[in-house]
Amino acid sequence: MTETIRNYDSQVIPYLEVYKEENRTKKRWHHTRADKETRYAHYYQHKTATLSEKERWGIDLIKIGLQRAVRPVVSCSFGIDSIVDVYLTRKALIELGRDPSDIDIVWNDTANEFQDVRQYQKFITQEWNLRLKITKPEKTLKHIIMDNGGVTDDYFFTRKGDRTKNKQPLSEKCCGTLKHKPMKKMIKEHEWDLVIVGLRADESTARFQAGLRDGEFFYSNSEWKSLVCRPILWWTEDDIWDYVAQEDIPYNSLYDKNQIQEYPEQSKLIQMIDEFNEQLLSVGLDIEKLKKRELSTVTRKQAILLKKKLKFKLFPPRTGCMMCPIPVKYGYMSWMREYYPKVYNAMVHNLGYGKALIGMVPDDVKEEIKQFLGIDVTADNAHEFLQEILEFKPCTFDKL
């Protein structure tokens, strides 16, 4: 890994060329990224690397950036990945003989954050003496939705970056207004020349592709106009939680609210519990309650094991906008209804989510509502009966 680190350091030396072509002045960036061999090296090396090796690489990568930067910053959502980033950065600063708090930390407060995150932010900022800078959006989520004609079904299922309808998806406009625009403004105001981020490649195909395209250390000449460092790019979710346990890093309580949404078939459940008994006990699961299907909430470590080994269907929450539409297709409404009922009601009734989602409920739910209430949820005016429908069947939007 040492050779790869040296390659990043020697190859990422960005400079802007200004030249003339056909009497026109043009600009072109050079050496903003390492070569393909370097960018792909850690992807392959991390498959067999130990957690200790990954930690060492992350710290050394951060040190490269810190030694170059005049005004570095760590982007932190106060989620588990970014807090590990902060922790690694503090270790890197100590190794460089500097105060571990001698760096800016920027948080994009979307004005739509979980209370768990806000409480944790206050705690860890004081505990670690963080030099926190907070961004604020110019518009609230409700105003963004109203300004764009309200919520429609594609708000929940159109992927960010999708241009099939020749327009920017509303979900992307939300992210742009609530997070990206305030962040760009803050980077410009503070003249940050290095942004350390907690992006992990295994979170999505898009992030994996971005990881191979850009690498762990590069210059963002179009988006942020600064160096970007991704110390945990190739860490897995297991790596993160093993490291948190190893280092006893405090994390926010949102990660202890993982909802079991579907158990395996009973005979398979018993068989797998017997097979993975020791592992289940090692993460603190109550075996008897599991056998009786009495558990509904588990910790993140428990959720990872249940999902990977026992094939449970769960919803593991993330930090970020409480009313984000993106996770709705993964069981988010069921989770919100259980843990944050007031926010759930605001989403359904105040923001118009219910009106857009009512036509997307499963066929068996539609038939049940029609049979017992006489309401056709496919009708244009079905949303007018939302209150009645949800009183009869609160779980209407649990599975979409």
Per-residue pLDDT tens for 289-322?
999 999 999 999 999 999 999 999 999 999 989 9
pLDDT of residue 159: 61
The DSSP letter of residue 265 is P
pLDDT tens readout for residues 341-369: 999 999 999 999 999 999 899 999 999 99
Residues 384 and 281 reside in one and the same domain: no
Domain annotation covers residue 17: no
Q: How far, in Å, are 51, 203, 278, 301, 302 from residue 282 at the CA level?
A: 19, 25, 6, 10, 9
**Range 316-344 average pLDDT:** 94
Q: For the chain, where are the E strands, in sequence order? A: 15-21, 24-30, 72-75, 104-108, 131-135, 194-196, 217-220, 226-229, 258-262, 297-298, 313-315
Residues 298 and 228 reside in one and the same domain: no
| pLDDT band, residue 81 (cuts 50/70/90) | very high
The identity of residue 82, as a single letter, is S
Residues 196 and 271 reside in one and the same domain: no
Residues 163 and 284 reside in one and the same domain: no
**Range 180-196 average pLDDT:** 94
Domain that holds residue 128: 35-247
pLDDT of residue 290: 97
Residues 263 and 238 reside in one and the same domain: no
Domain annotation covers residue 21: no
Q: What is the pTM of this model?
A: 0.93
Domain annotation covers residue 26: no
Q: Extract the tokens encoding 105.
A: 């930390």
Residues 363 and 237 reside in one and the same domain: no
Domain annotation covers residue 341: yes
Residues 242 and 106 reside in one and the same domain: yes
pLDDT tens readout for residues 130-165: 999 999 999 999 999 999 888 888 888 776 555 455
Please name every residue paired with 195 in a beta bridge, in sequence order, or none if there are none. 73, 228
Q: Extract the tokens encoding 274.
A: 């017997």
pLDDT of residue 153: 81
**Range 318-343 average pLDDT:** 94
**Range 37-66 average pLDDT:** 94
Please name every residue paired with 229 in a beta bridge, in sequence order, or none if there are none. 196, 217
Please name every residue paired with 258 in a beta bridge, in sequence order, or none if there are none. 298
Residues 53 and 170 reside in one and the same domain: yes
pLDDT of residue 165: 55
pLDDT of residue 211: 95
pLDDT of residue 161: 57
> Of 203, 227, 247, at which residue does a domain stop?
247
Strands 217-220 and 226-229: antiparallel
Q: Among residues of the chain, what percentage have pLDDT more than 90?
A: 84
Distance between CA atoms of 312 and 302, rounded to whole angstroms? 11
Q: Extract the tokens encoding 62.
A: 């951060």
Instruction: Give the CATH number, domain containing residue 110.
Output: 3.40.50.620
Residue 35 burial (CB < 10 Å; 0-12/13-18/19+)?
exposed
pLDDT of residue 371: 94
pLDDT of residue 164: 53
How many other CB atoms are found less than 10 A from the CB of residue 131? 15
Please name every residue paired with 73 in a beta bridge, in sequence order, or none if there are none. 104, 195
Domain annotation covers residue 86: yes
Domain annotation covers residue 8: no
Residue 23 confidence (pLDDT) above 90: no
pLDDT of residue 166: 52
Q: How far, in Å, are 92, 121, 305 from residue 106 at the CA level?
A: 18, 11, 32
> Of 196, 213, 247, at which residue does a domain stop?
247
> Of 274, 291, 315, at which residue does a domain stop?
315
Strands 194-196 and 72-75: parallel
Domain annotation covers residue 73: yes
**Range 269-276 average pLDDT:** 96
pLDDT of residue 163: 47
pLDDT tens readout for residues 209-247: 999 999 999 999 988 899 999 999 999 999 999 999 999
Residues 235 and 112 reside in one and the same domain: yes
Residues 202 and 264 reside in one and the same domain: no
Residues 166 and 216 reside in one and the same domain: yes
Residue 373 confidence (pLDDT) above 90: yes
Domain annotation covers residue 25: no
Q: How far, in Å, are 157, 206, 337, 341 from residue 346 at the CA level?
A: 20, 31, 11, 9
Domain count, the chain: 3
Q: What is the mean pLDDT of the chain?
A: 93
pLDDT tens readout for residues 93-103: 999 999 999 99
Residues 289 and 351 reside in one and the same domain: no
